Amino acid sequence: MFNCPDCRVPLRLQKAGRLGVFWNCPRCEGRTATFGLLRRVADRATVGALWQAARAAGERGARPCPACDRRMHEVVVPGVPGDELVDVCRACHLVWFDPSEYERLPEQEHAQAPPPLADRLDEADRRELALCEIALQQGKAQDEEDCDPLPGTAREWAGGVLGLPVVNDDRADRGLPLATWVLAAAATVLSVISFVSEDGLIPALGLVPAEWLRYGGLTLLGSFFIHGGVLHLAVNLYCLLQCGHAVEVIEGRGRFLLLLVSATVAGGLAHVAVDPSSTIPCVGASGGLAGLFTFIVLEFPGTRISVFIRGRFFKLPLAVILVLWILAEMRDLSFQIEGLTDISAAAHLGGALAGFLWWLLRRAGTRD
Report CA dihedral (209, 213, 216, 220) to the nearest 10 degrees: 20
Residues in the chain: 368
pLDDT at 18 over 50: no
- Residue with the bigger pLDDT between 196 and 15: it is 196
User: Is residue 127 a contact partner of residue 103, using CB atoms and an 8 Å limit?
Assistant: no
Q: Where in the chain is the domain with CATH 1.20.1540.10?
A: 154-367
pLDDT tens, residue by residue, 136-184: 555 443 333 333 333 444 444 445 455 454 554 444 445 578 899 999 9
| Least confident interval from 114-118, 229-233, 281-285 | 114-118
For residue 148, what pLDDT is reported? 34
Contacts of residue 27, defined as CB under 8 A and 6 or more positions apart, other chains included, come to 4, 7, 9
Q: 154-367 domain in CATH 3.30.565.10?
A: no
**pTM for the full predicted model:** 0.56
Q: Are strands 85-89 and 94-97 parallel, antiparallel or unpaired?
A: antiparallel
Separate counts of helices (H) and strands (E) for the chain: 13, 8
